[in-house]
């Protein structure tokens, strides 16, 4: 716990993680630490991750994604404000049926970006790595979008076309595509007081 930034500690006690701002090595280390700590505390209890991020480093984001899928605790994701680029992959990578967005959020998906300078051979090496990263990201999105639909709706070629350029999505469009499972409008009463058949915001207890 000593290395977890102070703003996250109180939220962690409620099994809530806030992913705010650019995805970088520092943020990734903090989020991964929280995920692992919460799993070790109570493995069977779900974790809710609120996301408001323009994206950032793919390697830092993949560290978070891999930890989300590695731990036993199911991780629910909620877009609050915006989730773009790598952050959109993390949003889509939440527990099936537990990926949410608030009604006025914005979600943007695209292929990885990058640039480099140097000798031609070095540029070719970098370009090959960017292509591998693109293929990896597209396969992740294909898996989660098809899982949301319950069948293989999207081919990898269709995902490649979908993420070729910046694609901005409303929550309704993200729901139709399979990036999220539900749009939340109001947190309702506790689970014990809910009427049968009611939908609720994600709970962490």
Element (H, E) at 89: helix 86-92
- The DSSP-derived string for 28-39 is HHHHHHHHHHHH
- Domains of the chain plus CATH, in order, are 6-111+165-190 (3.90.226.10)
Provide the β-strand partners of residue 49: 17, 77
Contact 179, 172 (CB under 8 A): no
Structure tokens at 26: 């520092």
Q: What is the mean pLDDT of residues 59-73?
A: 97
**Which residue among 28, 60, 101, 110 is the active-site one?**
110
pLDDT (tens digit per residue) in 93-103:
999 999 999 99
* Reported pTM: 0.81
Q: Say if CB 17 and CB 48 are below 8 A apart.
A: yes
The partner residues of 174 in beta bridges, in order of sequence, read none
Q: What's the chain's average pLDDT?
A: 84
In this model, does residue 123 exceed pLDDT 90? no
Report helix, strand or coil for 183.
strand
Burial class (CB in 10 A: 0-12, 13-18, 19+), 77: buried
In this prediction, residue 10 has a pLDDT band, given cuts at 50, 70 and 90, of very low
The question of whether 28 is a catalytic residue gets the answer no
Would you call 144 a catalytic residue per the annotation? no
> Which of 85, 101, 105, 137 is the catalytic position?
85
Q: Is the pLDDT of residue 79 over 90?
A: yes
d(CA 60, CA 65): 9
Beta strand 99-101 with 182-183 is: parallel
């Amino acid at each position: 716990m000593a290395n977890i930034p102070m703003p996250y500690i109180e939220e962690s006690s409620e099994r809530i993680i806030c992913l705010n701002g650019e995805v970088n090595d520092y943020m990734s280390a903090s989020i991964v630490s929280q995920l692992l700590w919460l799993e070790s505390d109570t493995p069977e209890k779900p974790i809710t991750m609120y996301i408001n991020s323009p994206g950032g480093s793919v390697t830092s984001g993949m560290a978070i994604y891999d930890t989300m899928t590695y731990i036993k605790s199911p991780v629910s994701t909620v877009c609050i404000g915006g989730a773009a680029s790598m952050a959109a992959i993390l949003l889509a990578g939440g527990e099936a049926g537990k990926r949410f967005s608030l009604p006025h959020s914005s979600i943007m998906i695209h292929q990885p970006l990058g640039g480099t300078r140097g000798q031609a051979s070095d540029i070719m090496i970098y370009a090959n790595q960017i292509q591998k990263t693109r293929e990896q990201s597209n396969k992740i999105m294909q898996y989660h979008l098809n899982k949301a639909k319950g069948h293989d709706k999207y081919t990898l070629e269709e995902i490649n076309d979908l993420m070729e350029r910046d694609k901005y999505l409303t929550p309704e469009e993200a729901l139709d595509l399979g990036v999220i499972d539900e749009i939340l409008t109001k947190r309702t009463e506790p689970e014990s007081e809910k009427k049968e058949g009611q939908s609720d915001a994600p709970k962490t207890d």
